Amino acid sequence: MTDSNAAPHQCIRLRFYEELNDFLPQEQRRREFSHRIEQQLSITDLLAYFGVPRNQVDLVLVDDEPVDFTHRVGFQQRVAVFPVFERCDISPSNRLRPKPLRRACFVLDQQLEKLARLLRLAGFDSLCRQGLTELQIIAASTEENRVILSRDRELLKNARVSHAYWLRESDPPAQFREIVNTFDLRRTLRPFSRCMDCNGELRVAEESEVLERIPFAVLVAFDDFWQCEECRQVYWKGSHYERMAQLIETI
């Protein structure tokens, strides 16, 4: 359907911005290109054709005017598509969603357990449980306002998904940096506020409370302890803390 030799009157001009380019073949990235259509086409159909999940799109302009997903594009029109997590300012145009969700609150598919642990270590509410079904992930997202994090494009294409981010990186520390940068979370890092294991909140614990659950060497070496409100796991500024500090330095 994309054909730069097609008669110009049967074509539209298209450009995808920022990270939406990751969904496109190399030759269509970061440039305006011609796309042949047989008849008027809705924005939804157009995005489906290019494999760009609808929930990754925040703003579509047709001939410089904002439109919604049902808008039908005609011959010779110019279409510009902007992502949800656009870092540059695209206001004041009408967005397709009332307001983009940028809360640091996530639900991750079960392949991303290691990323979930890193996000929790940095203090971000990150639900990730083995055995969570696609429906349960979507329900957690809509009911608890969580952004779905996944590397599964099919999950993100589900029509019920409204806030989701498709991870480009595959290595957990790189994924962590990707999320912190994409969602601009640097200023909201809160190490030692959340349990790496269960996502429960941590509170400062007295030595007497944790005495029987930590090795003697730890008790001697550290003065400050935290305890998970949910699973009672005890934390101190040991190897996890060092790991977090090193990771933050690389952001």
Residues that bind Zn ion (CB under 5 A): 195, 197-198, 200, 228, 230-231, 233
| Amino acid, res. 86 | E
> Do residues 190 and 122 make contact, with C-beta atoms less than 8 angstroms apart?
yes
CA angle at residue 92 from 88 to 98, to 5 degrees?
A: 95
Q: How far is the CB of 197 from Zn ion (least distance, A)?
A: 5
Q: How far is the CB of 193 from Zn ion (least distance, A)?
A: 12
> Do residues 172 and 151 make contact, with C-beta atoms less than 8 angstroms apart?
no
Q: Which is nearer to Zn ion, 97 or 203 (CB)?
A: 203
**Residues near 247 by beta carbon (within 8 Å), at least 6 away in sequence:** 118, 122, 173, 176, 177
Q: Tell me the backbone φ, ψ of residue 208, rounded to 5 degrees.
A: -65, -25
Q: How far is the CB of 133 from Zn ion (least distance, A)?
A: 23
Q: Which is nearer to Zn ion, 1 or 231 (CB)?
A: 231
Q: Which is nearer to Zn ion, 85 or 235 (CB)?
A: 235
Residue 205: strand pairing partners: 225
Q: Which is nearer to Zn ion, 65 or 230 (CB)?
A: 230
